[in-house]
Chains A and B, each alone.
Chain A
């Protein structure tokens, strides 16, 4: 058979065989295979995308958590500061109140003391008056028992009067 002259029989069989092969392979090999490969590629891509999304979500979540934590910390600090301020104010208030109360008590005590003092002084005055009356009475009884002394006294008064 010739080398460079194609023989019709071989062309016929080759055409028949190759087309049959093409038909069988397209139907039973390439279509299911390409479909499976495509499907797998899609599922791999989807899985990668899902992983990426999950990673982003995790990062977001973490950032949010940190934000929340920072906020909580800030709030704690504020609350603590407020509490401290409040306690300081309370102490100050209490102190002022105490001072005020003390002053009032002292004032009251002073007033009482003054009253007492006045009462005591009045009493003393009365007592002194009574005492001096008694002394005077006694003295008068003693001194005015004779005439001479009475006369001296009167003269003494008169002298005094003259001076005035």
Chain B
């Protein structure tokens, strides 16, 4: 079904691209006045100090977010993102500086006198993160309340939705990848799975922020995994890193640095995988939408819409797969850290 749909869409778009070269040429003329498509895409996938939803004519429908700045000399300061922008165009710029701070046109916070400070603003992604946390909390706490109220009976409602996922994470991810000591890690894996999954799904909504496709978010999650893995590493794990069994002493000079690098590449891979998968999906969807504005043709509009619908369906799949993969790899790394194995075993 989806394959048929995909091949049909590709065929149709190829066909239409050939015949719309005229409209492309026409569109290129008027491009000066239109939006730069790269900027449009980057604007949507990057973080911002303001949550921009859509425009009606020249009216920007936005949510002004709190700007929180900490600096050694001035302490903690709170502003609104609307203090730093043109009220007509909602554009940030150095010329709209406010109380010694400004947000430049690339959405970077700066200080007029050039002194150091830390930007702790509730950006679009932070706001989105609170939204994701709220959704996860509502979902799981209402499920937990069901058990508290009804005891150990068959699940219904939110519990019926959450429980299969909980059991899947517990049995298929935690138990299989970690082994007998899995119970301790199930809560972390569950939290990870739900946060990433709900974050991915909400991120697909129009106007939402690209939270799980932000490298700071994936890096934070990867660092937490790194800490949990290495804090729980047992003797075997560290021995495997610094005194790899079955390897001749001279070779250890090569193996040990590789193993130490390996400690860091694991979370690094986690960070990059989620970031790339989600960001790439958003870029593909936005690129198809951008085509409509570039070509300004009805035919391209139809094809783009079909493609965007199709890619969105794939993204729903990717949202779940990436949450699963992140959780699974975390479980596997924990598994390798807590595993007790005989040393004559092949590695």
Contact = CB atoms under 8 A, between A and B. Distances in A.
Contacts of B126: 9-10, 13-14, 17
Contacts of B148: 32
Contacts of A112: none
A112 B147 CA distance: 113
Nearest to B162: A33
A103 B346 CA distance: 108
A34 B141 contact: no
Contacts of B215: 3-6
Nearest to B125: A10
A13 B120 contact: yes
Count class of interface residues, chain A? 35 or more
B140 interface: yes
Grouping DSSP codes into helix (H, G, I), strand (E, B) and loop, the B interface class, with mixed when no group exceeds half, is helix
B190 A30 contact: yes
B46 A11 contact: no
Given A6-B215, A10-B126, A21-B195, A34 B47 contact: no
Contacts of B311: none
Given A2-B46, A29-B140, A34 B191 contact: no
Contact of B153 (A18, A32, A40): A40
4 smallest beta-carbon distances between A and B, as pairs: A6-B216, A36-B147, A40-B152, A10-B216
Interface of A: 1-15, 17-22, 24-26, 28-34, 36-37, 39-40, 43
Interface of B: 42, 45-48, 68, 106-108, 118-123, 125-126, 129-130, 133, 136-137, 140-141, 143-144, 147-148, 151-153, 159, 162-163, 166-167, 170, 186-188, 190-191, 194-195, 214-217, 219-221, 224, 275, 279
21 contacts: A1-B48, A3-B42, A3-B279, A6-B215, A8-B119, A9-B121, A14-B126, A21-B137, A22-B187, A22-B191, A25-B187, A25-B191, A30-B186, A30-B187, A30-B191, A32-B148, A33-B159, A33-B166, A37-B147, A37-B167, A39-B152
